[in-house]
Amino acid sequence: MIDLRLLERDFDSLAPRLQSKGVSDQLLTQLKELFERYKEEKRHLEELQSIQNRLSKELGLLKRKGEEIGPLRAQLEANKAKIAKAQEVVRALEKQLHELALTIPNPPDPDVPLGTGEEENLILEEVLEPPRFSFKPKEHWELGEALGWLDFERGVKIAKSRFVVLKKEAARLERALINFMLDHNRKWGFEEVWLPFLANSTALTGTGQLPKFQEDLFRVCDEDLFLIPTAEVPLTNLYQDEIIPDLDDPIRLTAYTPCFRKEAGSGGRDVRGIIRQHQFDKVELVAICRPEQSEEMLQEMVACASDLLVRLGLPHRKVLLCTGDLGFSAAKTIDLEVWLPGQGRYREISSISNTRDFQARRAKIRYKDGKRNRLVHTLNGSSLAVGRTLVAIMENYQRSDGTIAIPKALEAYM
């Protein structure tokens, strides 16, 4: 959650950063007006409390002198009633501010480029050369249907559109990729965790999915439980409402989970193939660290995910997202985009974000810094989206006869 005290102290400099991330003038005006009213009512409450303190002292003096205290006591009672009413107003305004703050995104870091969409993202580095083919490369869904690897009709029959059944070598590749990614991340120092695939509303609020993205979530009827949209939710919330006693070294975590999203805002994009599904597998990286460690941790997580792609022989590039393309909770994000020969373009396969103390404030994750409790910084990133990695292997390793080679790194897992 955005720091309300920071907004209160420095609203004018923070507002343009929020606007660059798509926050409307109307919402900012509403927030500013609510702040002004809150400060005014709080000042009024403090004045009444000051009067109460003064009158209480006067009452004590009159009592010691043995003088008449009736009129002064009546004043105190009347002022006490005013205080109670003023406290109700302040509490109501605090609640409104909190609820509104939950809908405000994390302000972008100062070094994030300004922009409104992906066209203005900044390419940082290209890694490995895209392969050259002596034939026109096919898209993964063409290859998958011809080989009997991808069964879209039965996916729809069992569930609905945007579900798929993986068969034959595709099913084996999916499992091999999950194990390969987890083993790789463990070598990089990330502790493997097995998690619930359901999370409650407190956990989803802590990482920023609620209340803003409720329409994208699958909810369990009559339960405060949702199918997780990403392992970021349960991994980060392992430390929800806790004070970590020793955080000299960052906590590094990795987990495989299926992920579930309604893709309500995707419209007609990627309706063919398995690029955008309601259910997909992902291996996640999460780090929890001190504020001064988080920028270095971001680079470490990007290097870890990039090294995975290098080992799989998949050409990709690193891209710094502009303000308008940043996610709700992210202050800074570096995407990895993999080359898909069938599409003839790069597509996102990993998104690694530093959320600074935004999630920590919502989820109340702190660490002991001497005698003080301070908010941690949290980071998260895909390592990788397994289905998209399968797509990339199918398209980059296809042969002229329609068969698909297996990357050397996966041979031991197959």
- Whole-number pLDDT of residue 9: 79
Give the residue with greater pLDDT, 322 vs 9.
322
| pLDDT, position 330 | 98
pLDDT in tens, 269-279: 777 899 999 99
Give 180-217 pLDDT, tens digit per residue: 999 999 999 999 999 999 999 999 999 999 999 999 99
pLDDT at 271: 74
For 320-348, what is the mean pLDDT?
97
Which pLDDT value is given to residue 5?
78
Q: How confident is the model at residue 266 (pLDDT cuts 50, 70, 90)?
A: low
Arithmetic mean of pLDDT, 27-33: 89
Average pLDDT score over residue span 82-103: 95
What is the distance between the alpha carbons of residues 114 and 108, in angstroms, rounded to a whole number? Answer: 9
Give the pLDDT score at 12: 84
- Length in residues, the chain: 414
pLDDT score for 4: 80
Are 220 and 226 within 8 A, CB to CB?
A: yes
Mean pLDDT of 285-313: 98
Checking if the pLDDT of 314 tops 80, the result is yes
For 137-147, what is the mean pLDDT?
Answer: 97
Of the pLDDT bands very low, low, confident and very high (cuts 50, 70, 90), residue 241 is very high
Catalytic center residues: 261, 276, 348, 351, 388
Residue 265 has pLDDT above 80, yes or no: no
Phi, psi (degrees; rounded to nearest 5) at 126: -110, 135
> What residues does 338 pair with on adjacent strands?
316, 347
Cα 120 versus chain centre, distance: 21
Q: What is the mean pLDDT of residues 336-349?
A: 97
Distance, CA of 66 to CA of 330 (rounded, Å): 65
Residue 3 predicted with pLDDT over 90: no
Q: In Å, how far are 9, 23, 326 from 15, measured between CA atoms? A: 12, 9, 16
Indicate if the pLDDT at residue 268 is higher than 70: no
Q: What is the pLDDT of residue 287?
A: 98
Residue 31 reports pLDDT greater than 90 = no
* Residues above pLDDT 70, as percent of the chain: 99
**pLDDT value at 408 more than 70:** yes
Give yes or no for residue 154 having a pLDDT over 80: yes
Residue among 179, 293, 278, 316 at smallest CA distance from 244: 293
pTM of this prediction? Answer: 0.92
Alpha-carbon distance values, 117 to 21, 39, 322, 323 (Å) = 10, 36, 7, 8
pLDDT at 260 over 90: yes
CA atoms within a 13 Å half-sphere pointing along the CA-CB vector of 3: 12
CA 49 to chain centre: 41
Q: What is the pLDDT of residue 230?
A: 98
pLDDT over 90 percentage in the chain: 90
- Whether 330 contacts 353, CB under 8 Å: yes
Residues 359 and 305 sit within 8 Å (Cβ to Cβ): no
pLDDT at position 294 over 70: yes
CA–CA dist 139, 275 (Å, integer): 11
Indicate if the pLDDT at residue 7 is higher than 80: no
Tens digit of each residue's pLDDT (9 = 90 or more) over 51-80: 999 999 999 999 898 889 899 999 999 999
Residue 157's pLDDT is what? 98
The average pLDDT across 15-24 equals 93
Q: What is the mean pLDDT of residues 3-27?
A: 87
Query: Rounded mean pLDDT of 77-93?
Result: 97
User: What is the pLDDT, as a whole number, of residue 264?
Assistant: 67
Q: Is 384 exposed, middle or buried (0-12, 13-18, 19+ CB in 10 A)?
A: buried
Q: What is the mean pLDDT of the chain?
A: 95
